Amino acid sequence: MHAEICEDTVILNQWHPISSTDDLKNHKQITTMLLEEKITCKKNSNGKYFVWKSIDIKKKLLPIKIAYGYLWTSLGTPPTDLFSFPEFYEIDRRNVATGVFGVNISAGRTIENFLDMGHFPFVHTGVLGEEPHTEVKEYDVSICETNDEILATKCQFYQPQAAVISSKGAEVDYIYRIPHINCAILYKSSPVDKKRQDAIIIFVQPVSQEIVRAHTGMCIIDDKSADKDIRLFQQTIFGQDKPILENQFPKKLPLDSRAETPIRADKSSIAYRRWLSQKGLTYGVIPSEDNNLFEVM
Amino acid sequence: MLKLYDYELSGNCYKVRLMMAFLKLSYDRELIEFYPSKKHKSLEFLEINPLGQLPVLMDNDFIIRDAQAILIYLAQKYDSQNNWYPSEKPSLVAEISEWLFFANDLTATSSAARLHDGFFYTNIHVEKCRKKAHDQFRIFDEHLYFNEQQGFPWICKSQYPTIADIACFPYIILSEEGGISRINYPAVRRWCDRFKRIPNFIVMSGIFPAGPQKVPDNEAKQSKILNGN
Ligand SMILES: [Fe+2]
């Protein structure tokens, strides 16, 4: 399947997650697909990882990074550092890889769905939202110049069961970070500690332009729930998102935000699309033809 | 007390949850994580079901180990109306059995394709599964169409849904997760919509409730037939 090999340097030069370190614990060797390229990952007896393109008989090693519970690699020249995620290293946090799921959709659509609060009452009914609390209130979106990431702040939503440990509904505060073209982190009020926030991650591995592996995980303050219950909670949520994602058309993300009706809930997605456009991304997206879109919002 | 060994994203477990909901039975759930930790293959679970398959139902000390078998058991024991499994009608029982086997066959096609696409069961030959699923869906669509013509809204020749409908529903409605579109099977789509309107219907992750009832022109005729007018 090398008919459509990826030539987009914007995506080739990224770090991409290929497996949670949890999943790698039980395997000496795995193979996975990244940008239509089959990748082999092997662990030696010292627990060190080696990654290469499976078709490469010389096994030229690809760069790797272990960060935030995942093994990352790149098919191009990746930056020295991955984005920051300091909460991951807070000692009282529970870091749970909640599972990787195959979804027949582009990476951009997957991230965009993750940012969208408007679907909560209709898709995650009784958990992350419920009628009549359907309104997405005004929130702020900005691009942080120093880190080159998108921030959506002051988001608020009524949630009947915001986390596995929640016992009652609550008005929940959200912050979204998009620190990587295919990765997003959301921070939401912790039901346990009012002053702190749980973090929920989605790291998307583009298998092809229209197929992804969505790695999901939680980094939360909760010393009661079992890992299994945290995973099952997140699997239920993601299982609800899956058909919504797969029924999007076109499967690639159109970067011209006027291609689809903008509503207020789409404010962060408009910023995301522009940000991708400015980077010149062409893989998994339908590039915008109008350069004026790059102007300030 | 009834106890179900259950996994949210399993269509086979969903069959049992549906039956319990329709019969308004209360039960305990013991969640077995099928994915990613494969807890249904753990030594602990193999003691409950040596086949390493979900769901399993315990009715006090009695253990039943197959989704279709559980449906038969629950309907026989708890359906006072005797509509879900009318055991006194041999021809209907035969018909139900036929479609229970059909439902089981869907796990090798529609369900397998879903496992391949969503859960990385990479040893599955997905194109073969999809092709076979389409063969089954075509036959199913035709069967449902002729039933509609004769005034039967369900899979079997009954005015009431039976456990055959419950057994077939999950892997029909989840087919798109395995890349199997139902666009060419209008009778199947109408049946899915009717199924979702059965009182006490519940959803699982990946399935949504029926939208507001609407009767488009081309289906108005159909509903006349169904209402016997
Ligand atoms: Fe969602």
- pLDDT tens column, B56-92: 999 999 999 999 999 999 999 999 999 999 999 999 9
Residue B158 has pLDDT above 90, yes or no: yes
B35 → closest Cβ in A99, A213, A242: A99
Q: Is B77 in contact with B98 (CB distance < 8 Å)?
A: no
Q: Which of B78, B108, B136 is the last residue of a domain?
A: B78
* Parent domain of B151: 90-203
Give phi and psi for B32, each to the nearest 5: -110, 120
pLDDT for A257: 64
Q: Which of B78, B100, B133 is the last residue of a domain?
A: B78
Q: What is the DSSP string of A207-276?
A: SSSS-EEEEEEEEE--SSS-HHHHHHHHHHHHHHHHHHHHT-SSSSEESSGGGS---GGGHHHHHHHHHH
pLDDT for A26: 81
Q: Which residues of A touch B (CB under 8 A)?
A: 23, 99-104, 123, 213, 228-229, 231-232, 235-240, 242-243, 246-247
- B57 is a domain residue: yes
State how far the alpha carbon of A4 is from the alpha carbons of A57, A78, A96, A102, A193, in Å.
21, 22, 35, 20, 49
The count of other CB atoms within 10 Å of the CB of residue A101 is 25
Per-residue pLDDT of chain A (297 residues; tens, 9 = 90+): 445 679 999 999 999 999 999 889 888 899 999 999 999 999 988 889 999 999 999 999 999 999 999 999 999 999 999 999 999 999 999 999 999 999 999 999 999 999 998 899 999 999 999 988 988 888 999 998 888 999 999 999 999 988 888 888 888 999 999 999 999 999 998 888 888 999 999 999 999 999 999 999 999 998 888 899 999 999 999 999 999 999 999 999 999 867 666 555 578 989 999 999 999 999 999 998 765 544 444
What residues contact A124, with CB distance under 8 A and at least 6 apart? A237, A240
B8 → closest Cβ in A236, A246, A247: A236
Same domain, B123 and B55: no
> pLDDT band at B220, cuts 50/70/90?
very low
Q: Region B127-139: what's the mean pLDDT?
A: 98
Q: Which of residues 150-189 of B touch A (CB under 8 A)?
A: 176-177, 179
Residue B228 has pLDDT above 90, yes or no: no
Helices (H) and strands (E) in chain B, counts: 9, 4
Residue B173 has pLDDT above 70, yes or no: yes
- B113 is a domain residue: yes
Q: Report CB contact under 8 Å: B205, A237.
A: yes
Q: Residue B145, exposed/middle/buried by CB under 10 A (0-12, 13-18, 19+)? A: middle
- B229 is a domain residue: no
Same domain, B136 and B186: yes
- B223 is a domain residue: no
Residue with tokens 């893989």: A283
Q: Quote the mean pLDDT of chain B.
A: 93
Q: Region B85-114: what's the mean pLDDT?
A: 97
Long-range contacts of A185-194 (CB under 8 A, 24+ apart): A185/A85, A186/A114, A187/A87, A188/A162, A188/A163, A189/A162, A190/A163, A190/A220, A190/A221, A190/A222, A191/A162, A191/A163, A191/A165, A191/A166, A191/A167, A192/A165, A192/A221, A192/A222, A193/A221
Q: What is the pTM of this model?
A: 0.89
- Spell out the domains of chain A, with CATH numbers in brackets: 1-82 (2.20.25.680), 90-248 (3.90.380.10)
CATH number, position B194 = 1.20.1050.10
pLDDT, tens only, B3-21: 999 999 999 999 999 999 9
Q: Which helix (DSSP H) or strand (DSSP E) does residue B46 occupy? A: helix B43-46
The residue of chain B nearest to residue A242, with distances taken between CA atoms, is B206
Same domain, B72 and B94: no
State how far the alpha carbon of A121 is from the alpha carbons of A62, A264, B184, in Å.
43, 16, 31
Same domain, B105 and B175: yes
Give phi and psi for B143, each to the nearest 5: -60, -45
Same domain, B105 and B128: yes
Residue A72 or B218, more confident: A72
Beta bridge partners of A19: A71
Same domain, B101 and B199: yes
What residues contact B82, with CB distance under 8 A and at least 6 apart? B88
Q: Take residue A79 and report the two structure tokens written for it.
A: 């930056």
Nearest Cα of chain A lies from the Cα of B82 at a distance, in angstroms, of 33
pLDDT for B214: 63
Q: Report CB contact under 8 Å: A243, B204.
A: no
Same domain, B34 and B107: no
- B211 is a domain residue: no
CA of A287 to the centre of ligand 1 (A): 25
ipTM over 0.90: no
Same domain, B59 and B128: no
- B146 is a domain residue: yes
pLDDT for B215: 55
The count of other CB atoms within 10 Å of the CB of residue A267 is 19
Same domain, B110 and B134: yes
Same domain, B99 and B187: yes
Measured between beta carbons, which residues in chain B are less than 8 angstroms from residue A19? Answer: none
Beta bridge partners of A43: A49
- How far is Cα of residue B127 from the mean position of the Cα atoms in its chain? 23
Residue B100 has pLDDT above 50, yes or no: yes
Q: How many Å apart are CA A44 and CA A275, to the nearest integer?
A: 39
Same domain, B108 and B197: yes
- B215 is a domain residue: no
Nearest Cα of chain A lies from the Cα of B187 at a distance, in angstroms, of 21
Q: How many Å apart are CA A143 and CA A273, to the nearest integer?
A: 12
pLDDT for A262: 55
Nearest Cα of chain A lies from the Cα of B147 at a distance, in angstroms, of 29
B33 → closest Cβ in A228, A240, A242: A228
CA of A129 to the centre of ligand 1 (A): 10
> pLDDT band at B225, cuts 50/70/90?
very low
Q: Region B205-220: what's the mean pLDDT?
A: 74
CATH number, position B16 = 3.40.30.10
Q: Which of B78, B100, B124 is the last residue of a domain?
A: B78
Residue B200 DSSP one-character state: T
Same domain, B94 and B118: yes
pLDDT, tens only, A3-18: 567 999 999 999 999 9
CA of A187 to the centre of ligand 1 (A): 15
- B51 is a domain residue: yes
Q: How many Å apart are CA B33 and CA A180, to the nearest integer?
A: 31
Q: Is A244 in contact with A231 (CB distance < 8 Å)?
A: no
Count of domains forming chain B:
2
